[in-house]
């Protein structure tokens, strides 16, 4: 038996026989070495759509099977006329609620997310761990499940000092959507603060700044511009997710579209025009936000 042989005479690749690969030795796997999640991935995808994508979507919505329509006395013209009649109602009473829900949710979620983000960077474990636990819990929970829990757990009204305050369904939907938004904004805040070079903290410490003074006067002003693009990206995602509340009976554009089609005898020819109109409305609202997000990301990106 040779020095590099074995008792069974089997060859060792790279030692007693040619290597089967040009990488006979692999470096240890590092799970944290890969690139992180893109904070504006959704907006980058929407903004990356070509200018003619809107025309293609509109053409696809208009080209549903003609043979099926020929079997009905309800024509294409009738379906579009029905949509035109209901369009002001869908926009003013429907999509307005989608925007209202998204704005209220983003405002409350941002305020709560900033608090959670600051808790996550606290040097005190008693503060840092609860902030991390709340963030990870709601950040990794399905939005629809949270909506159902809030809608079923919250009361319909609250009595304070003999005064009864009703809680409408759309407000409970705001609370339900606030939970995941709060958690994701918390991660945006934490990531922005940790992206500031450590030399900023050390320089402030050398000037006898307290941690609170360093955070509010030096670190957070630098983080504000870095947080704007991912914040806008999450607002676009939230706006696209507001139709989820239609499953819970909240009267927004999708719910009112179903009611409008029911008022028109629930003809199947109405499905594409009405739901296609919802798609176009959301696209027109969110596409400029996506373009603006990418522009701000390029403007405020850290130049190394």
Confidence at residue 107, expressed as pLDDT on a 0 to 100 scale: 95
Confidence at residue 12, expressed as pLDDT on a 0 to 100 scale: 61
3-class DSSP state for residue 75? coil
- Pick the closest to residue 300 from 233, 235, 237, 223 (CA basis): 223
Confidence at residue 138, expressed as pLDDT on a 0 to 100 scale: 94
Question: Which pTM was predicted?
Answer: 0.73
pLDDT digits 0-9 by tens, 14-63: 556 665 655 545 444 444 444 455 666 666 666 676 766 666 666 665 55
Residues linked to residue 163 through DSSP beta bridges, in sequence order:
160
Residues linked to residue 165 through DSSP beta bridges, in sequence order:
158
Residues linked to residue 166 through DSSP beta bridges, in sequence order:
157
- Whether residue 294 contacts residue 47, with contact meaning beta carbons closer than 8 Å, is answered with yes
Mean pLDDT value across the chain: 81
Please give, one letter per residue, the 3-state secondary structure of 148-167.
HHHHHHCCCEEEECCEEEEC
- The conformation of residue 28, written as its DSSP 8-state character, comes to P
Rg (CA), the chain: 27
Confidence at residue 212, expressed as pLDDT on a 0 to 100 scale: 86
Confidence at residue 14, expressed as pLDDT on a 0 to 100 scale: 54
Find the mean pLDDT for residues 148-166.
Answer: 83
Confidence at residue 223, expressed as pLDDT on a 0 to 100 scale: 86
Confidence at residue 188, expressed as pLDDT on a 0 to 100 scale: 93
Confidence at residue 39, expressed as pLDDT on a 0 to 100 scale: 64
- Whether residue 275 contacts residue 257, with contact meaning beta carbons closer than 8 Å, is answered with yes
Torsion sign (Cα): 229, 235, 239, 241? positive
What does the longest C-alpha to C-alpha distance in the chain come to?
95
Q: Which residue has the higher pLDDT, 98 or 18?
A: 98
3-class DSSP state for residue 196? coil
pLDDT band at 68 (very low <50, low <70, confident <90, very high): very low
Find the mean pLDDT for residues 97-102.
Answer: 93
Confidence at residue 102, expressed as pLDDT on a 0 to 100 scale: 94
267 pLDDT higher than 90: no
Alpha-carbon distance values, 241 to 3, 54, 61, 231, 245 (Å): 67, 20, 21, 15, 8
3-class DSSP state for residue 35? coil
Confidence at residue 241, expressed as pLDDT on a 0 to 100 scale: 92
- Pick the closest to residue 114 from 185, 170, 163 (CA basis): 185
Task: Looking at the chain, list the stretches that DSSP marks H as alpha helix, in order from N- to C-terminal side.
Answer: 41-47, 53-62, 66-70, 76-89, 96-120, 125-139, 143-153, 169-195, 198-206, 211-214, 220-241, 253-263, 271-300
Find the mean pLDDT for residues 280-295.
Answer: 88
Find the mean pLDDT for residues 232-257.
Answer: 90
Write down the domain spans for the chain. Answer: 71-300
Confidence at residue 207, expressed as pLDDT on a 0 to 100 scale: 86
Residues 6+ apart with CB under 8 A from 160: none
Which CATH fold would you assign to the domain 71-300? MetI-like fold (1.10.3720)
205, HSE (Cβ side, Cα atoms, 13 Å): 6
Find the mean pLDDT for residues 97-107.
Answer: 94
Find the mean pLDDT for residues 142-163.
Answer: 85
pLDDT digits 0-9 by tens, 189-204: 998 898 888 888 888 8
- Whether residue 214 contacts residue 282, with contact meaning beta carbons closer than 8 Å, is answered with no
């Amino acid at each position: 038996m040779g020095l590099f042989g074995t008792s069974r005479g089997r060859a060792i690749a790279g030692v007693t026989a040619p290597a089967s690969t040009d990488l006979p030795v692999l470096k240890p796997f590092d799970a944290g070495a890969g690139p992180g999640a893109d904070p504006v991935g959704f907006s980058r995808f929407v903004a990356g759509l070509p200018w003619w994508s809107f025309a293609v979507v509109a053409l696809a919505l208009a080209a549903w099977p003609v043979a099926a329509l020929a079997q009905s006395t309800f024509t294409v013209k009738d379906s579009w006329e029905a949509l035109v009649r209901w369009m002001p109602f869908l926009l003013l009473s429907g999509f307005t609620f989608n925007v209202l829900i998204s704005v209220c949710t983003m405002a409350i979620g941002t305020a709560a997310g900033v608090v959670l983000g600051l808790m996550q960077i606290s040097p005190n474990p008693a503060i840092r761990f609860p902030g991390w636990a709340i963030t990870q819990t709601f950040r990794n929970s399905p939005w629809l499940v949270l909506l159902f829990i809030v809608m079923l757990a919250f009361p319909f009204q609250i009595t304070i000092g003999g005064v009864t305050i009703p809680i409408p369904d759309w407000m409970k939907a705001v609370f339900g959507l606030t939970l995941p938004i709060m958690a994701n904004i918390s991660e945006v805040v934490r990531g922005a603060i940790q992206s500031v070079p450590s030399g900023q903290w050390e320089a402030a410490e050398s000037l006898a700044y307290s941690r609170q003074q360093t955070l509010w006067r030096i670190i957070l002003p630098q983080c504000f511009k870095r947080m704007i693009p991912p914040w806008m990206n999450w607002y676009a995602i939230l706006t696209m997710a507001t139709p989820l509340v239609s499953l819970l009976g909240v009267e927004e554009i999708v719910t009112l579209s179903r009611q409008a089609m029911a008022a028109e005898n629930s003809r199947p020819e109405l499905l594409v025009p009405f739901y296609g109109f919802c798609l176009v409305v959301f696209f027109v609202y969110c596409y400029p936000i996506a373009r603006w997000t990418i522009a701000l990301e390029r403007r405020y990106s850290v130049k190394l």
